Structure 1
Amino acid sequence: MRFSVRLGSGTPAKVFRDCAVAAEELGFDQIWTGNDLLRRSGIVPVTVALAATSRIRVGSSVLNPVSLHPAEIAMIAAGLQDFSGGRYLLGLGAGSEVFLRWAGLQLAAPVRRTREGLRAVRTLLTGGVPDGWHERAALKDGPAPTPIYLGAMGPKMLALAGREADGVLALCLPPTQIDWFAARVGDTASKPDFDLACCLWVSIDDDRDAGRARLAAKIAAYSGSLAQDSLAAAGFDLERFKHVQSLVTAGDLDAATAAVDDDMLRLGIAGDVHDVIDRCLELKASGVRHLSFGQPLGGSLVEAVALLGRHVLPHL
């Protein structure tokens, strides 16, 4: 099995570095951080973490080919591969429509722009010239082969990942839907190293109630932006999510968090060490081979990484 931890966009570089050092010591295979537009750059913490570690692979999840040109993405990846001895992982995605439009950027359809960006970056990193570019538009310092993961939730993006990427960061909400995600990625038998990361919302704490409350707050905050069809397919009561969102809209975040019930908490994994172990063992038994632990994680990110590494990973 593979294990990774994901920290959100805007995570301070020093915090990400400390989490990377802890994750490496405790047996994690990968650590990722985001790069949402208008937050702190995700490239800086990735670089700092690579400098502070020697084994763990460090990834950007995810860069988009709109605000960053594919040539720039390939240049960044090549530089980080050279610096790290090949430990950098490149995450690509469509980027947030909202944030990109705030910046006045013109957008092609999400799958189209991601596919075109992926192909251009891949071609550059393997020493070629992308279709339609000038014949001299190749990386001047030589190829830098890099694993490319797509960040995906929807069927079309998942299928694109299965066809053309080396892995997928699949945000599984709820985790029990992993078979749905795997089916849409499709048959990757011809790519035995393809990495389907089951990305989870996880909140772990010595205090079980504190862990559950932290996940409830995250679910409340995102209650209005989750895909309704996906929630319905997983057997959730859509009216509950609408009620929580109405409280968020009214500005009563405490009431919204309190309104997240036990069934809604199925969207992620929350509680103490034993709760997290039990849920993760169920996922392993169902065939999951890469568990990726994402925020909220814990009140202290470093302490949450330590709890996962010391107490959860040994059971898996």
Structure 2
Amino acid sequence: MQIPSLGRVGVYLPVPFTDPPAPRELPAAAVRLADAGYGTIWTNEFPGKDALVQLAVLLEATERVVFGTGVANIWTRDARTAAAAAEFLHRAHPGRLVLGLGVGYPQQAADTGREYGDPLATMRDYVDRMRPAEYPRILAANGPKMLALAGELADGAMPAMLPPEATALARRVLGPGKLLVAGLAVMPGASRAEAVARVTGTLGQPWFARAVARAGYPADADRLVDAVVAYGEPDAIAVKVREHLAAGADHVALLPQSGSDFATDVEMLARLAPAADQPI
């Protein structure tokens, strides 16, 4: 199984969790980002927005872009349903799909009437129930145990919003030959104070505090912000991209954090593309 060429830098389609854009706006946005130079576009998922259905539309609207789910939540669909959908997309658009899977949070399991259980056992069971694939599968993994599982059962991993030291740890755990996608929070044009406010909100999530502690950072937003958020001018953001690539990432996926409307974020990301993809 050959992993598609993702390029050094990709971008999330900046669909907000509230007030999502009309469906017809998504293909136009993907084309705009592709024209700006991004060879890989990632999509998120939340109730009411199916990641794989979305990719069916986006793949048809573009010719060469690789699309990845970042990530498809395993509580949204049965493992065999996910496998069948991803296989269909891969056969229709060979070499243009990366299926990212995530175990998510207990509330997401509860919303489907199921028990969250042990996340490692749950993810193992889910991947085991998917038949072998001709497209790459990666796991959302911010801790060493899930990273090890990704190295065992999948083709790679996607840690997100963590410092370069965590990317280096992920590479050591995964070993060579596995795809490592680092999700980098980006806030172009933002001040440091605005970036600190964003990190402060994320510190309320226990997984984040544990992950940054493993990387040697205290759970202090003011001391952590420069390590986990790329903010300010395009050249400063490019520096953070290069840090993750140097730490062992194969690909950096830009995660917009501005909170602006969809169209504004798309244009912001398009303008950022030339700087973000500067060589290491």
User: How does the TM-score come out when normalised to structure 1?
Assistant: 0.74
Q: Is 1:230 the counterpart of 2:211 in the alignment?
A: yes
> Which residue among 269, 274, 279 is the counterpart of 1:310?
274
Which string of whole-angstrom CA distances, capped at 9 and with x for unpartnered residues, describes residues 184-236 of structure 1?
22x23xxx3x211121111113xx53xx4553343232221043333334444
Identity of aligned residues (%): 27
1:157-196 equivalence runs, <5 A: 157-185=146-174, 187-188=175-176, 192=177, 194-196=178-180
2:187 aligned with 1:203, yes or no? yes
- Measure the CA separation in 2 of the matches of 1:16 and 1:214: 27
1:277 to 222, 233, 238: 238
1:219 aligns with 2:199: yes
8 Å contact kept, 2:164–2:243 = no
Summarize the alignment of residues 96-135 of structure 1 with structure 2, pairs less than 5 Å apart.
Answer: 96-123=105-132, 125=133
* CA distance, structure 1, for counterparts of residue 164 and residue 8 of structure 2: 16
Map of 1:60 onto structure 2? 69
Check the 8 A contact 2:40/2:68 in 1, yes or no.
Answer: yes
Shift of 1:56: 0.9
CA distance in 2: counterparts of 1:267 and 1:59, whole angstroms: 22
Which residue of the partner structure matches residue 290 of structure 1? 251
Hey, what's the Cα distance between the residues in 2 that align with 1:165 and 1:86?
A: 17
> What 5-or-longer segments of structure 2 have no aligned partner?
1-6
Tell which has more relative contact order, 1 or 2 (C-alpha 8 A, sep 6+): 2
Aligned to 1:243: none
CA apart distance, 1:297: 5.7
Aligned residues, how many? Answer: 266
Letter in 2 for 1:174: P
Rounded to whole Å, the distance in 1 between the matches of 2:227 and 2:212 is 11
| Partner residue, 1:146 | 135
1:33 matched to 2:43? The reply is yes
SS state of the match for residue 54, structure 1? coil
Distance (Å, rounded) in 2 between the aligned partners of 1:87 and 1:282: 26
CA offset digits 1:132-178 (Å, max 9, x no partner): xxxxxxxxxxxxx2211111112111001111211211225123321
TM-score of the aligned structures, taking structure 2 as reference length: 0.83
Amino acid at match of 1:230: A
Name the residue aligned to 1:79.
88
Distance change >3 Å, CA 99–CA 83, structure 1 → 2: same
Query: Aligned AA for 2:205?
Result: S
The one-letter code of the counterpart of 2:227 is R
Name the amino acid aligned to 1:302: V
Name the CA shift for 1:285/1:104 in 2 (closer, same or farther; >3 Å): closer
Shift of 1:54: 0.6
Relative distance call for 1:311 and 1:97 in structure 2 (3 A) is: same
What is the aligned partner in structure 2 of residue 17 from structure 1? 27
Greater C-alpha Rg: 1
Q: Which runs of 4+ in 1 moved over 6 A?
A: none
- Deviation at residue 105 of structure 1 after TM alignment: 1.4
Residue 2 (structure 1) aligns with: 8
Q: CA deviation at 1:51?
A: 1.4
Q: Structure 1: which 5+ residue stretches go unaligned? A: 126-144, 241-259
> Any conservation in 1 of the 2:36–2:271 contact (CA below 8 Å)?
no
Over the residues paired in the alignment, what is the CA RMSD in angstroms? Answer: 2.6
Distance 2:278 2:154 in 1: 30
Whether the aligned pair in 1 keeps the contact of 2:101 and 2:140 (CA below 8 Å) is yes
1:156 aligns with 2:145: yes
SS at match of 1:293: strand
